[in-house]
Structure 1
């Protein structure tokens, strides 16, 4: 048995592999649990670095590029965050220090040093409620946060604009869920971070203040809400680099909720157009609302059928947990085989 480190932020005690430890009821960490099992099948035990202290470590796998790389073992990375959020993920000099880089970022992919790999998703197809089984018209699940620095590609402001529109024009048709909406909208930059702390302090003193009347609180698992909603406003954090497509749209697909998606360039080019509503196709929020109100039960059923067919098709495989794990395990073990014999799995 070989040992390897998984570096996810500063997590210890194998927390990325612990059911229920993630921010969304544990499913957030599901790809890492499955990845650990797949590496075990290859004769490699994957742990957080503290669990491997005193052992000879065959390699390290980093979630996002790290500034410090050990000199005594090969390192690999999956670039999870967009460079807009984590600039180091676009630092070519730093990325060159890795044996292999796995990324969805089409600006980097060369199929040699930079291998394509999408965000992982649990695409398990389940039975979901139809039109009549959903008591919420439109929802948004998001955290109240901002980019570290102002940038025109930011979509947090667009989220707030959408929330304010529904609160003013159709409050009975909209519900907001997520963390942090008990304070005004968080702003980017140093002053924004200071304002956030001041607002949090005020909220503790005046807990009855509700800057966002549509806010219904946080959720343990996104499906608690998405299984009840007909439509969900799915805004990415930013219009990121080409290929930037996170779990937001797939969470809707697996729960039968029709997503209104707003993202980056070519984000959905591999997803059939009849599976979602393009939020950028409307000149105003009023036009979007009118379009949503014009969708009846029959058309909603067609959206659900298209989403299900996509999830069951080979086209969805590239976005699955299984593909994510297989790509990493096969890519890393093949590379290890080219190194010294001691690094080869038993």
Structure 2
């Protein structure tokens, strides 16, 4: 059978060489595993998937992860893996006509939309790792980012507010990691965020650091692997990027569960499968950050251990399978083959 060559285009991943491999410098915390598995699944159908663009290759299909502005293959079919929400990745707010089929977690009644879970770096054989000694009460591992505009379903700001409250009232109880926190947290479109950060920095330089204090948190910097912190944390702030998007379940809650840390979760309604409520602390149940953190501080040991036991049983019962990279790769490979036929 003649091999077919497929080009995968991922934002932020250059096409100068093939990065779909375990030792890739872009495979931080296994973030590329769903696509590496997809490439493996497609090999069974004599399809070679790569992100390395070669001029001499005649491609049979272009797979874009999120909407790409560059459309340079006029005689090749394009399909879309719609991963991020339009609030997070603004280009996804308008889907060009050249995408003939779309694979996404989003529920949509369009005929060209096919369902698959969010590409989470979670495997079928994954199981929580437990460390007896927890040296961190709660962690916050996020870069200083924001949504593309002013949205009511903004969870970036909600998780920032929780981290800010804890750090200012219980500084020894939280470990904050991530880049960009030497600058203030500002909401809004990109140009507004840039202008806001520059303005606040200038005003603080002139009038002193006491103004706009509620826009800053102190970070310990970036991590080579977030799991080094997650495994020694009792709790993890695991808020999604935004709400009101059914089935938008990213890696955040699973990172905590696999690390033996109880997630403090703010997420979305899940319709294709359910994550039991007894696996995480539901942030929606509290009126404010003070009430939420007070419940964590005063949680009985027995209740905390029950969270860990429920998480262990969740993986033993294989209830995590609908969310795995294996499930994503299986559905995505079938989607690709159908579009090749």
TM-score (norm 2): 0.85
Do 1:22 and 1:28's aligned partners in 2 also have CA atoms closer than 8 Å?
no
User: 2:118 aligns to what SS in structure 1?
Assistant: coil
CA RMSD of aligned residues (A): 2.9
Alignment pair present for 1:79 and 2:82 = yes
Report the counterpart of residue 99 of structure 2 in structure 1: 98
Report the counterpart of residue 116 of structure 1 in structure 2: 115
Report the counterpart of residue 36 of structure 1 in structure 2: 39
Alignment pair present for 1:230 and 2:234 = yes
Once the two structures are overlaid, the 10-residue window that deviates more, 18-27 or 140-149, is: 18-27
Q: Sort the Cα spacing of 1:213 and 1:71 in 2 relative to 1 into closer, same or farther, 3 A.
A: closer
TM-score (norm 1): 0.84
Alignment pair present for 1:305 and 2:309 = yes
Q: Which runs of 4+ in 1 moved over 6 A?
A: 198-203
Alignment pair present for 1:64 and 2:66 = yes
Q: Sort the Cα spacing of 1:202 and 1:224 in 2 relative to 1 into closer, same or farther, 3 A.
A: farther
Structure 2 portions without partners, runs of 5+ = 205-209
Q: Sort the Cα spacing of 1:5 and 1:89 in 2 relative to 1 into closer, same or farther, 3 A.
A: same
Alignment pair present for 1:325 and 2:318 = no
CA-to-partner distance for each residue in 1:132-176, whole Å, 9 max, x for gaps?
Answer: 421111111111111232222222221221122112221121111
CA-to-partner distance for each residue in 1:80-123, whole Å, 9 max, x for gaps?
Answer: 1102233443436x2x53332111112x256x521111112224
How far off its partner does 1:305 sit?
1.8
How many correspondences in the alignment? 327
Q: Sort the Cα spacing of 1:109 and 1:17 in 2 relative to 1 into closer, same or farther, 3 A.
A: farther
How far off its partner does 1:214 sit?
4.6
Report the counterpart of residue 344 of structure 1 in structure 2: none
Once the two structures are overlaid, the 10-residue window that deviates more, 256-265 or 245-254, is: 256-265
Pairing 1:265-276 to 2, within 5 Å after superposition: 265-266=269-270, 270-276=274-280
How far off its partner does 1:197 sit?
5.3
Report the counterpart of residue 191 of structure 1 in structure 2: 192
Do 1:82 and 1:240's aligned partners in 2 also have CA atoms closer than 8 Å?
no
Pairing 1:1-346 to 2, within 5 Å after superposition: 1-9=3-11, 11-21=14-24, 25-50=28-53, 52-69=54-71, 70-91=73-94, 94=96, 96-106=97-107, 108=108, 112-121=111-120, 122-123=122-123, 124-126=125-127, 128-130=129-131, 132-189=132-189, 190-196=191-197, 212=216, 214-266=218-270, 270-337=274-341
Q: Sort the Cα spacing of 1:78 and 1:175 in 2 relative to 1 into closer, same or farther, 3 A.
A: same
Do 1:62 and 1:76's aligned partners in 2 also have CA atoms closer than 8 Å?
yes
User: 1:72 aligns to what SS in structure 2?
Assistant: coil
Once the two structures are overlaid, the 10-residue window that deviates more, 15-24 or 79-88, is: 15-24
Q: Sort the Cα spacing of 1:267 and 1:23 in 2 relative to 1 into closer, same or farther, 3 A.
A: farther
Q: Sort the Cα spacing of 1:78 and 1:201 in 2 relative to 1 into closer, same or farther, 3 A.
A: farther
Structure 1 portions without partners, runs of 5+ = 204-208, 338-346
